[in-house]
Amino acid sequence: MKLIIIQCFCFLFFYAQGQITKPEVTEVWEPEPRVVSVDTKTGIPSDAIILFDGTDLSHWQNKNGKEEAKWKIEGDHMTVVAGTGDIKTKEVFGSCQLHIEWRTPKEVIGESQGRGNSGVFFQEKYEVQILDNYENRTYSNGQAGSIYKQHLPLVNACQPPGVWQSYDIIFQEPIFNEDGHKVASGYITVLHNGVVIQNHAELYGTTEYIGLPKNIKHEDGSIMLQDHGNPVSYRNIWLREM
């Protein structure tokens, strides 16, 4: 940071003087970004934490933090077992990049919020909605890809029920000071099946089902997946800390 400030100062000084004559003056060499390679088969970056690869639920536990995750594993994916509760990662995270693939049931049952409902929560507080919104109308700020009750998705990029879909999400956590006041908002960017549906959307606080967002100081938290009573499936979940 100190180096960048000095370089900015030099840049402004020379700019003001109109005396920049050498290209090196505006070059930045330190620090050098570290190398991250991507597995060409899986698309997973070398520094990713793999949270679920179809093998087991060892990274997950029940929302209450006391019991095992009880969702069902079949083949390369896991599926919500209605009534067993939300599941969350044992590890906690701050700002991160998350890749997650999800599938709503092929057999269409219910409508609006009752059809293929689940959700991915950051720090257990901020939900990006998962819902079957293929030809299924619901309130716009509660449809798939919404930041629940805060930001509707820019477009509806849903695939039909029974088709695997992906979210690539960049989560920037909110910052609180020692007195507990929020001094910087969190932000969320979402690509749904490769389509930008949330572009650096500001988090107004927690995503509440009833009532307004809350801003109570908190630490890092788990990634949480919602049991909303519908058998939504998940596979290939990985995360990069930022």
Q: Binding residues for Mg ion, per CB under 5 A? A: 117, 119, 226
Query: Which CA distances in Å does 14 have to 19, 30, 51, 78?
Result: 5, 20, 49, 59
Residue with Cβ nearer Mg ion (117 or 240): 117
- In the chain, the amino acid numbered 153 is P
- Residue least distant from Mg ion (Cβ): 119
| Residue matched to tokens 């190398």 | 35
Give the three-state DSSP class for 98.
strand
Q: Minimum distance from CB of 224 to Mg ion (Å)? A: 11
Residue with Cβ nearer Mg ion (7 or 159): 159
Q: Minimum distance from CB of 119 to Mg ion (Å)? A: 3
Residue with Cβ nearer Mg ion (89 or 117): 117
Q: Which residues contact 204 (CB under 8 A, 6 or more apart)?
A: 150, 185, 213
Q: Minimum distance from CB of 207 to Mg ion (Å)? A: 9
Residue with Cβ nearer Mg ion (151 or 240): 151
Q: Minimum distance from CB of 130 to Mg ion (Å)? A: 6
